[in-house]
Amino acid sequence: MTTIIQTALPVPLPRQFDYDCEQLPAVGARVRVPFGNRELVGVCLGEASAPDDSFQRKAVLEVIDDEPLWPRPIWRLLEWAADYYHHPLGDVIQNAMPVLLRQGERASYQATTRYQVTEQGAQISPNDLKRAVQQQRLLAALQQQPLLSRDIRMQEFSPSALKALQDKGWVEAVEHIPAAVQSWSLKIAAEPLQLNPEQALAVAAIGAAKQHQTYLLEGVTGSGKTEVYLQAMADVLRRGQQVLMLVPEIGLTPQTLKRFQQRFDVPIVMLHSALTDRERLDAWLDARAGSAAIIIGTRSAIFTPCKALGMIIVDEEHDASLKQQDGFRYHARDLAVMRGHEEQVPVILGSATPSFETLNNALNKRYAHLQLSRRAGQAKPARHVVMDIKNLPLKAGLSQPLLGLMREHLDAGQQVLLFLNRRGFAPALLCHECGWLAQCRRCDAYYTVHQGSKQLQCHHCGAQQPIPRQCHDCGSTQLIGRGVGTEQLEQLLQEQFPDYPVLRIDRDSTRKKGSLQQHLQDAHDNKYPILVGTQMLAKGHHFPDVTLAALLDVDGALYSADFRAAERLGQMFTQVAGRAGRASKPGTVVLQTHHPEHELIQDLINNGYGHFAQSALRERQLTHLPPFSQHALFRAEANNADAVIAALEAIATLFPQRDDVIVLGPIPAVMERRAGRYRYQLLIQTQQRAMRAQLLRYVLPQLEKLPQLRKVRWSLDIDPQDFS
């Protein structure tokens, strides 16, 4: 008998769709359905309780899955997220699926490539390959055990070594279908370290958790957070349960991964960007079947189903990449806490510089606050220096005292790290005669000068053009770069320190696949005494020989219109400081500024991030800003500014006028025009989350009827992180 089912489809509409189906699929199973003149892959939500008979219902074309894609707790998480973010469930579900599942691929393994030694290869002693170290290592590894192409261990070996061994006939690639469930048990491969008292306290507290509890593990870089993760994980793995760990986009270094592998002889899957869609699905299946013991991934990994989840870890929980900035704008850290609650497992949020939201939850005792206040092992805390550069001549943004300090460290054989959050040669091109500045035609922004590629580039819309020879206004040929970017800094440093090679790490120097990892490895191995980089360099990387770290230009953050700028500056300073002076070498961290007396800087330098954050939190409380109030941000854009303003004004009038609700705007975005489109925002602020949710539930259904909204592109961001 035919039943009518309700489905969630990947369309940006906040409603479900009914279809006829021969028999009722499992709730959470995928179905293929006709939609307009397309076919979509959706998910069955169960039998339709009040079918809509006002239109001709179509029939499901195919039921793809026999069972639900996700276990109950993840279902509840998805439903909760759709509700909390006021986002269509169909699109939430879409975001939670690996690409191949979105396309309707079966949720089962396919043959995948496995590398193994041939009979001949088994006879070869790797030691005979002394001259080819890469091949030697790979052959030795494969003699121990065959490896699947998606295995993270394969990443340690160069493709050319693999090819060479295959050409010699010692290694072969075979088609292999993984077993449905691969069992494992914990084998500790390396001895754990002897914990210091604070670490021991943290591990004990986490181990004592019988059910869900969220922990903030706060500790400066090098204080031994990773060691705490490892020992807390050991308990979970020993019980046969899995650990899910989220890391920032480029946060997990090969060194850290190696530590995991050295400690635990269990299957680890990593959902990283180098995987093919097939490998990603297979890793997902491993997690769902329980074959993977440890699952590591970036933000979307929070939706990975796990057969027997025992713990969630969010490393660098303050990191901006955990928040998705378009479409379904979720925060993976907040979803991690919610998932921990649904699955009744502990959640560890780790950071040297916790976000103010998390810190506030810890101060309120909603989260348990575990602190590691000292660097583990021998390392001493870095010395902080505020360098007043008022009236000092600057060379490519560097003051003479800083250059002097650099020379001292370099001559002592140590490494220096300079941090400048602006890539390119110069952030603007200026006519020396008339003051004309080369401006992007489509954005409210100046072109950045890129000398390497001899181009002017707009960093906001991607527009490019050759560097002009003449001023567009007066025809003068005296065009000069204004301000300093990493490219210029690199050039000057090469002139100043000809004996010390410089390595630049930014988006331009790491475009080629794999080049970032290579650069980071080279930096780690001290092949370059001088490191220059943008914020890419400030994320969780350990460079043991760096003893001097400097932030060159942060004054913008002190007087920014964005209320989160101070928080980010504090985090960046502390993260960069954490790069200096590991092991037994004392480090120095320098902040160049025109405002050495600024309260924020003084607090940060003298009292550290924790104190700084608490004072800044008090200020947020006084000014009723998050986390002491709740934000929802409507963004709209179109080619016509009036249309954008009218659309947001129409939305604004739907909100009731109440004392406890602030409706602010329409106001222009920080960049009012980007890629030719005008951009405005409407900010809704309430005291309570429940009030925000209630208002939006009342307002959103009315938006479909607003004609003003049809002329613009608009979106809603719950807990927005930036206003650019």
The residue ranges that bind ligand ADP (CB under 6 A) are 193-196, 199, 219, 221-227, 376-377
Alpha helices, H only, 507-598? 515-524, 555-558, 565-577
Least distance to Zn ion, CB of residue 470, Å:
8
Among ligand ADP, Zn ion, none, what does residue 226 contact (CB within 5–8 Å per kind)? ligand ADP
> Considering CB distances under 5 to 8 angstroms, the limit depending on partner class, which of ligand ADP, Zn ion, none binds residue 724?
none
Identify which of residues 301 and 463 has a Cβ nearer to Zn ion in the complex.
463
* Among residues 152, 458, 537, 577, the one that binds Zn ion under rule CB under 5 A: 458
Phi, psi of 642, rounded to the nearest 5 degrees: -60, -40
Identify whether the C-beta of residue 534 lies closer than 8 Å to the C-beta of residue 421: yes
157 CB-near residues (< 8 Å, 6+ apart):
134, 137, 138, 141
Does 444 bind Zn ion (CB under 5 A)? Our answer is no
Distance in Å, CB of 504 to ligand ADP, minimum? 24
Bridge partners for 542 per DSSP: none
Rounded Cα distance, 233 and 260, in Å: 10
Pick 372 or 613: Cβ nearer ligand ADP: 372
CB of 401 to ligand ADP, least distance (A): 30
SS3 532: strand
Segment interacting with Zn ion, rule: CB under 5 A, options 46-54, 345-353, 464-472, 591-599: 464-472
Question: Is 306 annotated to bind ligand?
Answer: no
Residues 631, 719 contacting (CB under 8 angstroms):
yes
Angle between helices 72-84 and 332-343 (to 10 degrees): 140
Backbone dihedral angles phi then psi of residue 645, each to the nearest 5 degrees: -65, -45
Rg (CA), the chain: 28
* Least distance in angstroms from the C-beta of 258 to ligand ADP: 12
Cβ neighbours of residue 681 closer than 8 Å, sequence gap 6 or more: 633, 634, 635, 636, 648, 665, 666, 667, 668, 669, 723
279 contact choice in ligand ADP, Zn ion, none (CB below 5 to 8 Å, kind-dependent): none
Q: What is the C-alpha separation between 279 and 110, in angstroms, rounded?
A: 10
Q: How far is the CB of 439 from Zn ion (least distance, A)?
A: 9
Distances (CA, A) of 220 to 316, 354, 524, 536: 11, 10, 19, 18
Residues 416-441 as b or e (16 or more Cβ within 10 Å = b):
bbbbbbbbbbbbbbbbeeeebebbbe
CA dihedral 602, 605, 609, 612 (to 10 degrees): -10
194-202, 232-240, 335-343, 470-478 -> range binding Zn ion (CB under 5 A) = 470-478
Of Zn ion, ligand ADP, none, which one sits near residue 476, judging by CB under 5 to 8 A according to partner kind?
Zn ion
- Smallest gap from Cβ 377 to ligand ADP, in A, equals 4
Q: Judged by CB, which is closer to Zn ion: 179, or 434? A: 434
Q: Which does 193 bind (CB under 5 to 8 A by kind): Zn ion, ligand ADP, none?
A: ligand ADP
Question: Does 245 engage in binding with Zn ion (CB under 5 A)?
Answer: no
Contact (Cβ atoms closer than 8 angstroms) between residue 717 and residue 329:
yes
CB of 145 to Zn ion, least distance (A): 52
Torsion of CA 432, 433, 435, 438, to 10 degrees: -70
CB atoms within 10 A of CB 208: 9
Q: Which one, 30 or 374, has the nearer CB to ligand ADP?
A: 374
Nearer to ligand ADP, 132 or 193 (CB): 193
Q: Which is nearer to ligand ADP, 95 or 221 (CB)?
A: 221
User: Which of the choices ligand ADP, Zn ion, none does residue 223 contact, using the CB cut-off of 5 to 8 A by kind?
Assistant: ligand ADP
- What pairing do the DSSP bridges indicate for beta strands 415-419 and 448-450? unpaired
Least distance between Zn ion and beta carbon 428 (Å): 13
Q: Does 474 show up as a binding residue in the annotation?
A: yes
Neighbours of 393 (CB within 10 A): 8
Query: Which residues are within 8 A (CB) of 606 and not within 5 positions of it... i.e. 6 or more apart?
Result: none
The least distance separating ligand ADP from the CB of residue 263, rounded to whole angstroms, comes to 11
Closer to Zn ion by CB, 16 or 457: give it.
457
3-state secondary structure of 301: helix
Q: CB-wise, 434 or 690, nearer to Zn ion? A: 434
Is the separation of the CB atoms in 228 and 372 below 8 Å?
Answer: yes
State the Cα angle at 545 between 544 and 546, rounded to 5°: 100
How far, in Å, are 124, 330, 636, 716 from residue 720 at the CA level? Answer: 59, 10, 14, 9
Q: Is 21 one of the annotated binding-site residues?
A: no
Q: Which does 471 bind (CB under 5 to 8 A by kind): ligand ADP, Zn ion, none?
A: Zn ion
Contact 443, 671 (CB under 8 A): yes
Q: Which stretch binds Zn ion (CB under 5 A): 2-10, 113-121, 473-481, 696-704?
A: 473-481
Looking only at residues 475 through 504 of this chain, which bind Zn ion when binding is defined by CB under 5 A? 476
Q: Among residue numbers 383 through 402, which ones bind Zn ion (CB under 5 A)?
A: none
440 binds, among ligand ADP, Zn ion, none (CB under 5 to 8 A by kind): Zn ion
Cα three-residue angle 434-675-14, rounded to 5 degrees = 155
Question: Residue 434 binds which one of Zn ion, ligand ADP, none, with CB within 5 to 8 A depending on kind?
Answer: Zn ion
Nearest to ligand ADP of 224, 290 (CB atom): 224
The residue (of 218 and 506) whose beta carbon lies closer to ligand ADP is 218
Choose the one of ligand ADP, Zn ion, none that binds residue 448, judging by a C-beta under 5 to 8 angstroms depending on kind: none
Give the length of the chain: 724
Instruction: Select from 163-171, 284-292, 395-403, 456-464 the region that touches Zn ion (CB under 5 A).
Output: 456-464
Residue 461 labeled ligand binder: yes
Q: Report the nearest approach of ligand ADP to the CB of residue 200 (Å).
A: 9
Q: What's the closest the beta carbon of residue 10 comes to ligand ADP, in angstroms?
A: 38
Q: How far apart are CA 303 and CA 77, in angstroms?
A: 9
Q: Which is nearer to ligand ADP, 213 or 223 (by Cβ)?
A: 223
CB of 233 to ligand ADP, least distance (A): 13
Closer to ligand ADP at the Cβ: 226 or 510?
Answer: 226
Burial of 615 (0-12, 13-18, 19+ CB in 10 A): middle
Q: Which does 225 bind (CB under 5 to 8 A by kind): ligand ADP, Zn ion, none?
A: ligand ADP
226 vs 486 by CB, closer to ligand ADP: 226
**In degrees rounded to 5, what are phi and psi of residue 629?**
-150, 175
Question: Which partner from the list Zn ion, ligand ADP, none does 291 bind, CB cut-off 5 to 8 Å by kind?
Answer: none
Position 473 contacts Zn ion (CB under 5 A)? yes
Give the residue ranges of the annotated binding site for Zn(2+): 431, 434, 440, 443, 458, 461, 471, 474
Give the residue ranges of the annotated binding site: 431, 434, 440, 443, 458, 461, 471, 474
Q: Which residues bind Zn ion (CB under 5 A)?
A: 431, 433-434, 436, 440, 442-443, 458, 460-461, 463, 471, 473-474, 476
